[in-house]
Structure 1
Amino acid sequence: MENTYLFYDLETTGLNKCFDQIIQFAAIRTDKNFNELEKYNFKLALRDDIIMSPEAVLVHRISPLSLKEGLNEYEAVLKIHEIINVPGTISLGYNTLGFDDEFLRFSFYRNLLNPYSHQFKNNCFRMDIFPMAVFYYLFEEDIIKWPFKKDGGGVSLKLENLSLLNNLTKGQAHDALADVEATLNLARIFSRNKKVWEYLVDFFVKKSDQKRSESIDEIFQSQSGIHRMGLFVDSKTGADLNFIAPFLNIGKSIPYKNQSLWLRLDDKNIEECMDNIEEKTFVVRKKYGEPPFILPAYDRFLSKMNFKQKKIMEKNIEYLKSHTSEFNEIVNYHTNYRYPQIEGVDPDAMLYERGFLSEKEMAKCRSFHKKKFEDKIDMIDDFKELEKRQAKRILFRNYNIEGFENIESEKKKYFKSLNGSSRIVDYLGNARLTPGEILSRIEELLAQKTDNEDRNLLNDLKKDIFLKFNQ
């Protein structure tokens, strides 16, 4: 089947993918030559249980009072899931693998949809223009103009700055459709160098990415296996280090089979880390088909590293080669590491704890989506306990449930917890903010802001909280 690109962007009520909500979805589908085929742009009605983050409101400039109309979250997420799962879809955007993709994953999960199908099923996969921009800046610098920070802090790779300097779109930054148009035009420019574009696309193909990593030259062997050194091109390394750093492959995670483990070699002397391996050694848990990009340690790539990085790298390699017991201690700690277990994780946040649903369970979810409201209620008891709670939340968040006592009681209990009767936490242990805590943050911002538009947006948010929670 013929692949298509789906350039997309989300605007959301905040940064917590478990507890925040999509409020705008925009996308442009193109063929492989970037010719537009379809365009989507719609806003969602704000759920009654959602309070927008004050910081998010000040970025995207969307007042909560303007989101009374539109598709409810359930209808919208069903629509997005259908769009992004069209066979052959390559979904991509600017930093989508750093934010939007996981936000979608949790949105799909809490609405009883397959959260992973767009990553692999029916010839679908994902890309991200942001890590590609890092590579182009390093190795194809002349392809566009690059904005630099006024404080001398190096290049800025923010989409809004790239867009302004290169006239990528005429729309307002942080409007979802404008950001999609800017990203699409940036991709059109990058793809003019077809050889580099196709080379980078292969980093997002799981098998190709894995094959490249495993073909990198080994630098030594230990009782743990073969150890290869690769250069990670990654925005997280920072502009001051040219976004590039050396890492040593130390094996695979034992509890998490999809993670390849890479030990950083240039940020500190590893000999000085042995008293606290957990906190002082830095390992990237790489998943194939996702950033960062791993390059072989060829001279043309090593030349992008500074002198200090290279010296620390060389010293660490010699230390690890000659101190086998210490190296094995590092390997054993990181390969056996398990994420901490968080108690009391909210059902909205249990995507990774739940694991994969069976095909029989997914078929039950598909049947639920097709039924009318009253029939959905009748079906709730067919689900297991977690999915039963999710189904009830779908109903009271998106429909009028008056007269259905079992759903109404669940809603009352849930809203009581939102007000702080018990702390709601995500899978990382982060607590959902209460209405009172958000009001305190709004007052802090109002004391700092003098711009009338900023103040109006914050006051709209206060009003929305009082209307929903009687604060």
Structure 2
Amino acid sequence: MLIKKKSEFNFLFYDYETFGLNPIKDRIAQFACIRTNINLKIIGKPIILYCKLSNDYLPDPKSMIIHNISLDLINLKGQTECKFASNINKIFSLPNTCILGYNNINFDDEFSRFLFYRNFYDPYSWFWKNNNSRWDILSLVRACYVLRPDGINWPKKNNIPIFNLEKIASLNNIKNLYSKNAHDALSDVYTTISITKLIKKKQPLLYKYFLKYRNKKKLIKKIDLSKIQIFIHISSIYKNKNNNISCITPLFWHPKNKNILISFNLVNNVYDFLQIIKNTQIYKKNIFSYIQLINFNKFPLLLPVNILKKQDLKRLKFKIIFYIKNFFILKKNFFKIKKIIKYIFLNFKQKNEETNIYNVDEQLYKNFFSNEDLFKFKKIHNKKKTIINLNEFIFKDIRANILLFKYKARNFPFTLSKIEKKTWDIYIKNIFNKKFFNNYNYEIKKLLQKELYNKQILVLKNLLKYIKNFFKF
């Protein structure tokens, strides 16, 4: 890979293949990335990394037969998760890097955050520190379809757009230079670069606009809460059948998270909302269906309503008259509506689950780590010896204390003391009990009864062999 001390702006396209779809609970199988310059010219060799499984996790069999990465390959080429996280953190940390992929903001980036969280790296600084940023080409593709679709062939089913990476590539004669296999991380990276080039070529102004507005500060400047505004919001929230588009009116910034804008979703009839709030008992679930939370850390696509041309309104079947009428009703009742919604958010109490060894991996968003704890995280990585004395690192945040034990057991099991090993064995037995294995085996055997390719059958049989060799049940 091309690494410079004083690096120029560059894109880092990346993708994961994972052992499941849940970034909170599942693990990563494969990482691939390619670095390009601002003109999308490749400037470094592609990188592929594999991550070994620790003995406290088993893959989702359904995910295994999507990417067909066998556990034999993982164990042969894979790195321990702490080494895997270290290498990715270094790759991400090159200054002036825009880190991007296809659906990375909702998927791959979440896996990155939880990977770094489990392995004592800052889960957030990689995409803003050293003038770094992030972007998502799936969002660009959606924006292109809604706003300026000309020049690109769009796959559809029953006249509903499909934003599948491989289908868009196939319909636009994009040939993968690496592999014909979908669901290989490097193959998907090459395809994403090609689709980005296609949009840049066919719709250069749109490309330039959204590249600029991947910056959170520039996006926030669009919101002026001293005025009552209306925006077009393009998002997967509104589903492909609705062309991923709606109109919203900003209300206020979230009282506990200033990156989230609370807005009124104008697809809902404002009159209906006014009837609901007349009741003496206001049910939160009824109120929340009218509200749209917009996370500015995810670079939302917010645009003025006049950006859509007449032909776009017709093509998208976008009921602009309904939205405008609804907006004016909202405007008349704005302060009443805002007051009610704000009251609910100010009095909303979130359940605070007590941290323990079983749920700590899921608690990234419980709180930010203190600077003092983050400093100690660096000390863990600076240790030359793999022997970690748990008493040497006492953190303010209880999550870090429990995570350190799990970090040691997952990555350096041979260094566990007798007491630590006994604690870990009890933990493993509790999560992988007889009921779990009965259900897990049943799921694999059920999949084997379906029509599968030979490679898929081998992957599943390999998984059965793996659990018989490594677990007693």
- What TM-score do the two structures reach when normalised by structure 1? 0.87
Match of 1:162 among 158, 168, 188: 168
1:43-78 per-position Cα deviation (integer Å, ceiling 9, x unaligned): 122222221111111211112233212211110111
Deviation at 1:267, TM superposition (A): 4.2
SS of residue matched to 1:248: strand
Partner of 2:55 in structure 1?
48
Matches within 5 A, 1:306-317: 309-317=319-327
Pair 1:262-2:263 in alignment? yes
SS of residue matched to 1:227: coil
1:276-332 per-position Cα deviation (integer Å, ceiling 9, x unaligned): 453352323223252430001116268645667335434533443444545532343
Which structure 2 residue ranges, 5 or more long, are not aligned? 1-6, 277-281
Q: Cα distance 1:268–1:462, how it changes in 2: closer, same or farther (>3 A)?
A: farther
Pair 1:66-2:73 in alignment? yes
Q: Cα distance 1:380–1:284, how it changes in 2: closer, same or farther (>3 A)?
A: farther
Which structure 1 residue ranges, 5 or more long, are not aligned? 219-224, 422-432
Partner of 1:441 in structure 2?
443
Answer whether contact 1:209 1:289 (CA < 8 A) is retained: no
Partner of 2:237 in structure 1?
236
Pair 1:288-2:296 in alignment? yes
Partner of 2:461 in structure 1?
459
Distance in 2 (CA, whole Å) between partners of 1:283 and 1:168 is 42
Deviation at 1:103, TM superposition (A): 0.7
Matches within 5 A, 1:389-408: 389-401=402-414, 404-408=417-421
SS of residue matched to 1:26: strand
Pair 1:57-2:64 in alignment? yes
1:152-194 per-position Cα deviation (integer Å, ceiling 9, x unaligned): 1422111111122232415211100000001111112222243
Answer whether contact 1:136 1:143 (CA < 8 A) is retained: no
Partner of 1:328 in structure 2?
339
SS of residue matched to 2:23: coil
Higher mean C-alpha displacement, 179-188 vs 306-315: 306-315
Q: Cα distance 1:311–1:468, how it changes in 2: closer, same or farther (>3 A)?
A: farther
Distance in 1 (CA, whole Å) between partners of 2:64 and 2:421 is 30
Distance in 2 (CA, whole Å) between partners of 1:330 and 1:206 is 25
Answer whether contact 1:420 1:434 (CA < 8 A) is retained: yes
Distance in 2 (CA, whole Å) between partners of 1:77 and 1:88 is 20
Deviation at 1:18, TM superposition (A): 2.3
Answer whether contact 2:14 2:31 (CA < 8 A) is retained: yes
Deviation at 1:341, TM superposition (A): 3.4
Partner of 1:130 in structure 2?
138
Higher mean C-alpha displacement, 304-313 vs 140-149: 304-313
Partner of 2:4 in structure 1?
none
Identity of aligned residues (%): 26
Partner of 1:387 in structure 2?
400
Matches within 5 A, 1:3-402: 3-38=9-44, 39-69=46-76, 70-149=78-157, 152-166=158-172, 167-170=174-177, 171=179, 172-192=181-201, 193-214=203-224, 226-268=227-269, 270-271=271-272, 274=276, 276-279=283-286, 281-298=289-306, 300=308, 304-305=312-313, 309-323=319-333, 325-326=336-337, 328-334=339-345, 337-343=348-354, 346-358=359-371, 360-377=372-389, 380-384=392-396, 385-401=398-414
Partner of 2:471 in structure 1?
469
Distance in 2 (CA, whole Å) between partners of 1:82 and 1:328 is 47
Distance in 1 (CA, whole Å) between partners of 2:310 and 2:22 is 37
Higher mean C-alpha displacement, 54-63 vs 260-269: 260-269
- What TM-score do the two structures reach when normalised by structure 2? 0.86
How many residue pairs are counted as aligned between the two chains?
A: 448
Answer whether contact 1:14 1:52 (CA < 8 A) is retained: yes
Answer whether contact 2:233 2:300 (CA < 8 A) is retained: yes
